[in-house]
Amino acid sequence: MRVRHTMAMAALMAALIPGVMAEPSVRALVDALQGDPAARVEAAALLPRYGVEPLPLLFPLLTNQSPTVAKAAENVVWDISCQAARPGQEADAREATRLLLERLAQETGERQRRHILRCLSVVVPEGYDIGPLGELLNDPAQREPVRTTLERIATTEAKRALREAVDERDPDFTVALLNSLAQLRDAEALPVARKMLSHGSAEVRVAAARAVAWCGDPVDAVALLAVRDCATPETTQDATDAVLMLADAMAERGGNWDEAIGLYKSVLASTDIPVMRDAAICGLAKYGDETVVAPILAAVEGLGERETAIAVAALETVAGAAADKAIADAYATQPADIKPLMIAMMGRRGGTTLLPAIVEASASTDPALRLAGITALGDAGRLESLPALAAAMDGGDADAQAAARDSAFRLADGLRARGESDSAGKVYAELFRRVDTTELRRRAFEGIVACPVPEAFEAVLAAGQDVNLAELSGPGLVAMIGALAKSGRVDDARKSFDLVLQAPLVGPPVEQLAAALAGSAAELDVCHRLGFVCDWSLVGPFPFGGPGKGLGDVNVGEPNIDLGATYKVGDAELTWQRKDMSNPAGVCDLTQAYGMPTNQVAYAYTKITVPEAIDVVVRMGSDDGIKLWVNGEVVHDHDVDRPCKIDEDSAAAKLKAGENTLLVKISQGGGGWNFRLRFTTSEGRALPVDVVK
């Protein structure tokens, strides 16, 4: 045993190290299946690579005394069979079939025979003569597993073998054969099956009925009804099912619609088997028109809740506007306990003809019917439902109001999903007016932003005094402001902008807001209303020791500024120049005036006015360092090398009533050169200030 293991491992090493040793032989790999677990695993993985060649050597291992070895051989035979069955492997498939059939004829073990049949079920190709397998259908001990194998093979030859085995003298096996032919939908078997429709065995008749029903030929209708009518109690359900199968096939096939509907109605009128009644109702609903509405409802009259629910649900699938009218007419005569189910179904159908009944139900004094109507209004997906939903949200009990809100949201979301943006926006607007929680208001507001209509903006603006809109959706508010401005409603856009500015706004959100409103910056005065100062007198550049050297050197007599002064720098004479640097993001770009020098400073000076004394926060960003004087006093000094980020620095300051002076010193190490400065309250709300021209 040790010698065999050594040989097997040597063969496997040759497979794993190409070029070092020769490829392992099939015999060595088959022997390795009987080795230790590691060798067996490697051999099982490699053997299928050799195609069908290993099969004769593997077959003897199927009866190995070791269950582990036998199972490993079974797995490899199965893998080889599956591989041979792949497209493009026809030659291997035929050879594997030949070898498997030969082994089947020799095999005596039940387990091994079943395994070979399993492999044959996947590998036998079309056109292969499987006569030897068909002959086994005459062997009572083997015929049942062989029948199921032939059914799985499903080739022309397999179907022929099943047909030829049908024997009216053996009812039990004939039933099984006919069931296989029905499963395979074998057209060649129809004459055989039709002959068996008059067999003396009820079971055979029912199996024959199944074997012909699939083809949907109306010529078989009378015979299948006869099979049903003379069925035994044990076969009645299956016989009825065959009639319904025929009706389904006829309806799908087309050309015999009346006959198919007649079969469904025949079953519905005659059966007391619940599952058959359900199937007949579903068939009528699927393939029928308005004429099937009354028979379906009549079939469940007086029956239980389950039967009624199935019938009403089936009506949802009856196609056509005429069916809507038939359903609306039938609804008026239904018992009170069925009407809520009917209304729910009518809402899902959503036809215009059905809407009046749904609206009426939504205002009913019957709680169950009212809730069904309110829910159906949302399901109906029509803007015409909105007045009734608004009325339900405004009145009624808490349950009805909650149901109406849910339905209205469902209606709005459905309209939006279908691309009916204007209609959806109107529903969201009504919701925004009526909902009373931040979560629901945010949901409605996001819908308004996605589906902007004038009514929606009016709803938002009307709520502005009572609702903190900034808590709802900052991006949504910005989108709404931009949409208003683009549509020419600048006054409304300004009002909406005012609502945004009521809340604290610091850092990146300010930049996002400014960028989003850039297209409407002039109309909305974005820069000024965000508290930016953009109108400056500039002078420079002056030499600078570089970042980290400090901003204490005096170049313009700071903090005392004379805008008429001239400053000598080398051969250049520098004077103050007025620059309006207005832009939505408040950036004062010094490279526009001075380019991109290295190690320089420049100054910006302006006067602002405020109506009364106030404590403020000056928020700044700079590239690079920044020093700020307010009314001649240093309030901020930050020598740094950095890019300009909005509101990165802040300093508290006091502004006096009337005029105030601002002086800014900006250093430049290299690259970009800019700053921005704005005012807010201590809470962070933007504080617009006026520049003295």
Structure confidence by residue, pLDDT tens digits, 107-128: 889 999 999 999 999 999 999 9
CATH number at residue 675: 2.60.120.380
In a domain, residue 355? The reply is: no
In a domain, residue 675? The reply is: yes
Query: How far, in Å, CA of 597 to CA of 594, rounded?
Result: 7
| Confidence class for position 640, pLDDT limits 50, 70, 90 | very high
Q: Has residue 485 got a pLDDT over 50?
A: yes
How many domains, in total, are found in the chain?
1
Per-residue model confidence (pLDDT) at position 27 = 94
Per-residue model confidence (pLDDT) at position 461 = 67
In a domain, residue 288? The reply is: no
Per-residue model confidence (pLDDT) at position 613 = 96
Q: Model's pTM, two decimal places?
A: 0.65
Query: How far, in Å, CA of 316 to CA of 281, rounded?
Result: 12
Q: Has residue 170 got a pLDDT over 80?
A: yes
Q: Has residue 21 got a pLDDT over 60?
A: no
Q: Exposed, middle or buried, 311 (CB in 10 Å: 0-12/13-18/19+)?
A: buried
Q: Which of 57-71, 143-157, 434-448 has the lowest mean pLDDT?
A: 434-448
- Bridge partners (DSSP) of residue 662 are 606, 630
In a domain, residue 91? The reply is: no
Token output for 290: 């308005």
Per-residue model confidence (pLDDT) at position 2 = 39
Query: Across residues 643-655, what is the average pLDDT?
Result: 95
Q: Which of 438, 377, 384 is nearest to 405 (CA)?
A: 377
Structure confidence by residue, pLDDT tens digits, 568-625: 999 999 999 998 766 778 899 999 889 999 999 999 999 999 999 999 999 999 999 9
Structure confidence by residue, pLDDT tens digits, 307-321: 999 999 999 999 999
In a domain, residue 353? The reply is: no
Per-residue model confidence (pLDDT) at position 556 = 96
Q: Which of 276-285, 334-343, 438-447 has the lowest mean pLDDT?
A: 438-447
Per-residue model confidence (pLDDT) at position 472 = 52
Query: Across residues 202-216, what is the average pLDDT?
Result: 96
Query: Across residues 416-434, what is the average pLDDT?
Result: 92
CA 482 from centroid of its chain's CA atoms: 30
| Confidence class for position 491, pLDDT limits 50, 70, 90 | confident
> CB-based contacts of 246: which residues, under 8 Å, 6+ apart?
209, 212, 213, 216, 220, 221, 224, 263
Per-residue model confidence (pLDDT) at position 418 = 94
In a domain, residue 495? The reply is: no
Q: Which of 188-202, 363-377, 460-474, 542-556 has the lowest mean pLDDT?
A: 460-474
Per-residue model confidence (pLDDT) at position 477 = 66
> CB-based contacts of 595: which residues, under 8 Å, 6+ apart?
none
Query: Domain range for residue 542?
Result: 528-691
Query: Looking at per-residue confidence, does 449 or 637 come out higher?
Result: 637
CA distances in angstroms from 244 to 271, 273, 277, 310, listed in the order given: 12, 13, 10, 17
Query: Across residues 493-499, what is the average pLDDT?
Result: 78
Residues in the chain: 693
> CB-based contacts of 153: which residues, under 8 Å, 6+ apart?
120, 121, 124, 130
Question: What b/e readout covers 445-464, taking b as 16+ CB neighbours within 10 angstroms?
Answer: bbbbbebbbebbbebbbebe
Q: Which of 252-256, 480-484, 591-595 has the lowest mean pLDDT?
A: 480-484
Angle at 447 between CA 446 and CA 448, to 5 degrees: 90
Q: Which of 616, 605, 551 is nearest to 581 (CA)?
A: 605
Q: Which of 19-23, 166-170, 380-384 has the lowest mean pLDDT?
A: 19-23
Structure confidence by residue, pLDDT tens digits, 328-362: 999 999 999 899 999 999 999 998 999 999 999 99
| Confidence class for position 1, pLDDT limits 50, 70, 90 | very low
Query: Across residues 636-652, what is the average pLDDT?
Result: 95
Structure confidence by residue, pLDDT tens digits, 194-206: 999 999 999 999 9
In a domain, residue 587? The reply is: yes
| Confidence class for position 469, pLDDT limits 50, 70, 90 | low
Q: Average model confidence (pLDDT) for the chain?
A: 90
Structure confidence by residue, pLDDT tens digits, 533-576: 989 999 999 999 988 899 999 999 999 999 999 999 999 999 99
Q: Has residue 12 got a pLDDT over 50?
A: no
In a domain, residue 324? The reply is: no
State the DSSP string of 126-191: TT---HHHHHGGG-TTTHHHHHHHHHHH--HHHHHHHHHH--TT-HHHHHHHHHHHHHHT-GGGHH
The SS3 assignment for 418 reads: coil
